Structure 1
Amino acid sequence: MKKADIKVLLVDDDVIERKSLKRELTLNRCEYHVVETSTAEEAFVYLDNMTFDVVIIDYHMPRISGIEAVIRLRNMPNLKHTAIVMVSNNSDEALMLECINAGAQDFLLKSEVTESQLTRTILQSRQRHELEQQLYESYQEVKNLAERDKLTGLHNRYYFDEALVQMLAHQKRHPDELTAVMLFDLDKFKHINDTFGHEMGDKLLVAVADRLLKALRGDTLFARFGGDEFVLACSQLRSIRHVKGLLKRLLKTFDTAFVVDEHELFCSCSVGVAIAPANGESSEELLKLADIAMYRAKRSPQLQYCFFEDNMQEAFLSKYKIESELRHAIEHDEFVLHYQPIIDMQSKRVAGAEALIRWPQALTSKNPGVFIPVAEESGLIQAIGKWVLQQAFRDLQKRLKEVDFTYVSVNVSPCQLCESGFFSYVESLIKQYEVPASALVFEVTETALLSEDTVTLNTLNSLHDLGIRIALDDFGTGFSSISHLLSCPIDIVKIDKSIIQNITCPNSKHKNMLEGLTYLLSQLNISIIAEGIETQEQSALCQRLGIKLTQGFLYYRPASEVELQLLLNNTIEQ
C-alpha cells in the first residue's frame, strides 16, 4: 500500500487540536485521506460503514473515555487491520502504559507532534499492528490445533475439561439448574476396524460426530475424547426429564445406517450420564462417574444409557482392583489349569477333561465367574485366553504320549472368537505341539452367537473344518435357541446344571425338558454332556435317557494336571 492510500479517522472533541493534527498530516509530501469527527459515538458509526488504516483518538473524550473507546474499537470485527494511535496532553507514563495495554499501538503527546513524527508514528503503528495481527493469528491457529481433534474437527479433551470447569462455575451460581455430562462409547467399533480397516473406522467416527453435532443445540459442549469415545455436557437443564429427552433424541440418530464408501454400517452406542450437582460438582468427578455409568450400560444389552447411581462406584472400584491384579497375574504367570474329567457312562472311564483356569494367588476374588467377566470387559481376556490355550496344548501333548486319552475341552471367550487372528493362532499351536485337532473341543456360550457376528461364525466354521469339535456350553440358561443348533457347527451340547439338578424333583418340568432335549439333539446327531451331576439319582436318570457323557462332583472335582495324570494311570491299571 502506498502512503497516499492511507485512510485516517481523526477523533477529537477539540476542533483546534483536531485541525492542528490534520495540518501536520497535510504538510507531509504524502497525502492522507482524513475523516474528522468530534465524538467517539460518531467514530463508531464511521467505522461501521468505512474502512480505515489508522484511528487517531484523543484520550480525553466526552461521555466515553479514550480508554473505553479503544477497548470497544478492538472488539469491532471490521477493525482487524486498523491501527490505533492515542493522543493526549497528559504525559503520565502510567497513562501511556494503560493505553497500550488497552490495545493502542502508540501514544503521542499533542505538544510534541510534528509532521515527520506523526507520519512516522502512523507508519510504525500500522506496521506494529500488522505484526501483532500475525502473532495473534498464529497464536489462534496453535490454540485451535491444541483444542481440536484432528480427525473429526470437534473439540478435544483438553478444551472440554477447561470449558466444563466454566460451565460448572455457572451452574453453582444457579443451583436450581442441572448440568449433565454424557459419555458416549460406540459398540463393537473394534469389530468394524478389524473387518473394514482403520480408514473405514475413521470415516465412521467422522460421520457419527457430524450426525450428533447436527442433533445438538448450539450451546452444548461436545468433544471427542479419542478412540470411539465422545462426550458432551449440557447446562441450564431444569429436570432429569430434559436430560432423558436429549438422550433419546441423540440415540435416535443411530437408528439409520451410516453410509461410508458405499457401505451401510449400522452402529449403536452406550451412554453413561452423571449429573451436577447431584452426583458431583467437579469436572474430574463427573467424568469419572459418567465413565462408570457408561460401563454399566455397555454390560447390559437392554440398556442404551445409564445414569450414575451411588452403588456403582463401589462395584467399579472392586472391578478396578481385580483388573489391576489381573495385569499383575499375567505379567508374573500366576494362573494354573485344573481339569474336570468327563465320564463315559457306558465304560465309566474318563473320556476327556475340561480345562478350567484357576488363580490361587488372587487377593480380591479367586472365582473365575467374577474375574473372567472383568478380563473380558478390560480386554485382558485375549492374553489370558492365549495362556490357557498354550498351557492346555502343552499338557495335552504330554498326556497323549503317556496315557490313553480322548480329548481336552477348552472354554473360549466371545472376545477371542471375534479376534481376526484367533484361528491362525490355534492353527500354529496345533503345529507347534503336534496334537491332533480331533483331540480338541472348544466350548462357547450362546452369548457368542447372539449377535450373529459373521467373523465369529466364520471362525467357528474354520475351526470345525480343521477338525476341532465345537461344544455349546450352558445350554438351557435363558438364551438357548434352536436356530443356533442349525446355523452353527455345533457337535456337542452341554446341558446346564440348573436343569440337571432339578430333574429328580417330583413332577419336575426339568425332567420333561431334558427328555425332549435329548430326543431333539439325538435327531440332529449332536452329542450331549450333562454337567453338574451330584447324585446317583441324577446320574441314573441321565443314563436311562441315553445321555452318554456326564460331568460333575459325583464323579470328580477339578484336579491339577498331576492329579489327573494319576487318575488316568489308575484307570488304565484297573
Structure 2
Amino acid sequence: MTLFKQLILFTLMLFLILFTGTLLLSFNNTRSFLLNQLESHAQDTATSLGLAISQRAVEEDRASLESMINAVFDRGYYQTIRYVNVEGKVVVERQLAVTFEDVPSWFIALAPLDPPEASANVMAGWRQGGKIYVRSHPGFAYSALWKDSARMTLWFLSCAVFVFLVGGLGLRLLLRPLALVQRQADAICRKEYESQEPLPRTRELRQVVIAMNRMTFKVKEMFEEQAAFAEGFREHAYFDSLTGLGNRRYFEMQMRSRQEEREGAGGGLLLLVQIRDLQRLNRQRGLQAGDELLKAAAFILRDLAQSCSNPVLARLTGGDFAAFLPDSLSWEAPKIAEKTANALSRLAERKLSATENVANIGAVTYDTPTALGSLLSEADLALRTAQQKGPNAWHIRGITEETEKLPAGEQQWRRTLEDVLQARRIRFDAQAVVRTAVRNDCMHLEVFSRIVRGEDGVEFRAELFLPFAERLGLVSLLDRIVLEEAMRLDRQKLGVDAVAVNISPASLHDDDFRSWLHSALRDLPPSAPRLVFEFAESAAIRSLDSVRQFREHIRQWGHAVALDHYGQSLSRLGYLQLLRPDYVKVDRAYTEALKDSAGDSRFYIGSLCSVAHSIDVLVIAEGVETEEQIDMLKTLNIDGLQGYAIDRPKPMAGNSAGS
C-alpha cells in the first residue's frame, strides 16, 4: 500500500475515532437530558393534577375525576396516567401505546428510553384521597434523540468527505517530492539519470531529494567514467587518433576475421590509397598542413563507404589508407575507384596538397575466400601499377575462381532475386546460442538464410545477395519471407523459446512491411517462439531512431531487439544507453584476436561486458571456435557463446527452399 493511501486511511481512522467518541458523548448527554425532562414533565403533571382533583377525589366523584384526567391526558403526551384511591384500587387509568413512525426500530433497540413514573398524593386539607401516577410518553424524546444523532452523523460525514478530498489533494502536493524520488529510483534502475528540480520546501523532504540528486549524479558519473574508460581503451588500441579511422591493428584484425570465417567471406573490394608527397608537404607548410590533408582524405573514404554495409576503413601508416567494401563486386570496382580518385584529386584545388598529384589507388577484387596476405600483395601490385600510370591514377586487379556463377550486373541480380522471392526458393539453417555458464542451456536459435537460383540450384549466402536486395528495394520482401517462416515454428518442437532473425533497418522504412509485421506480431499464436530481431551494428547506427522506435513497439508483445557484429563500426558506446538492445554480439574479429590474458581484445571485451551489464544488456561472443577462447571468455563474464565450437548451423526441420 502506498504512503499516500496509508496517510489517508490513518487520517480517516483518527477522524472516525473522534467522530465516534463525540457522537457517543453527545448521545449519552442528550439521552440523559431527555430522561430528566421526561421525569420533570411527569412530576410536574402529577403534582398539578393531584391538586386539581383533590376535592373530587375526597368526594369520590368518579365522573369528574375522569373528565379532569382525560382533559390532561388528551392535552399532553403521556404514556400512562393512573389514579389510585387510599385502598390501592385503580379508580381511573388512561394509557397510550408506545409507537414511533419516524424513528427506525434499530435505533430504538440501540438506545432504549425508559421514562420514570412520577407520583403525587391527592390531599384535601389533611385528608388523603388517593395517589396519582404519571409516566410521560418517550416518543418526542426518541424523535429528538434520532434527529440530533442524524444531524451530527451527517455533519461528520460531510467533514470526512471534505477532509478526504481536500486533505488528499494536500497530501498529494506534500508527497509529490517522494513520488519524484520514486521516479528517480526507477530511472536509475533503467540506467537513466534524472535530477529533481525545484527542491521541496519541507525540510525533511528537501534533504531526501538533495541526497537522491547527489546519488543520481554519482551513479551517472560512474557509468560515464566506465564507458569513457572502455572507449578510451578501444581508441588507443584500434583507432587512429588523427583521422578517426581504424588503425593497422584494427584493419588486420577485421580482415583476418572475415577471411578466416569457416564459410568464407564470399568476395569484396579492397582499395589501397597512398597520399603522395606527404613529407614534402610537411616540410614546406608544416605538420598541421599534412594533418589537414590526411583528415580530408579520411572524410572522402568515409563518404565512399556510406552506401556499404560493414566496411573496414583504416589508416595503415603515414599517408597509406585501406578501404575494404564487402558489398562491392568486380563489375562495380572501376566506378568506385574512379569516383574516389576524382574526389581525392579535387583536394589540390583546395590547396591542401603539395602537388596536383594527390593520391594513387590500387584495388583488388575477389569472389572467393582469399588470405589477407594475398589480398594485400595484389592490392600493392595494383598500387604500383597506378603510380606508373601517372598522377591520381588507379588500377584494379582481380582474384577470381567462379565469377561466372554470380549474376554479372545489377539487372541480373534483380531478375535472380525477384525469381527467388516469387518462388520462395530460400533455404534456412539454424545455429544455437548457449549460456556461457551452462553450455547445454540454449538461449535462442539464430536463423540464417540462403537463396537458391532456379536454373542451376546454385546457393548464395546472405553476404552476397543482401547488399543487392537493399539496393534494389527487395529487402523488405525478403525479410518478410524469413519472418513468416520463423513465425510458423513451434517452440515445443524447437526446444527453445526464442528465435533470432537478422533483418535490415531499411525494412523499417517500408510502410507495408511495418503494417504487416505489427499485425502478424499481434496475431502470433501462443505456440510460436519469441522473436529477436538482430540488426547489424553499423546499419542500426545509421537508422538509430527507427530501430529504437521499433524496439519500443515490439516489446509490448514480448519480443526483443539485438545488435550483431558489435564493435565492427568503431562507434561510441553512448548509443547503447539510448537503444537498450536486449543483447549485443561481439564481432568475431575480437573473439578470434583472443590470444592471451594481456591482449587488447581481452581488455576490450571485458570493458564492454562491464558497461553493457551496467545497463542490463547481455553480451554474446560470436565466432567461438576453440576451447581456449571459451575458457578466456568465461573469465570475462560474457553471457553467451556462438560458434563452431558450440554448434554448427543445421537445416531447419520443415524449412527448405521452394521448388
> TM over 0.5, yes or no?
no
TM-score scaled to structure 2, two decimals? 0.37
- Higher RCO by CA contacts (8 Å cutoff, separation 6 or greater): 2
TM-score scaled to structure 1, two decimals? 0.42
- Which structure has the larger Rg? 2
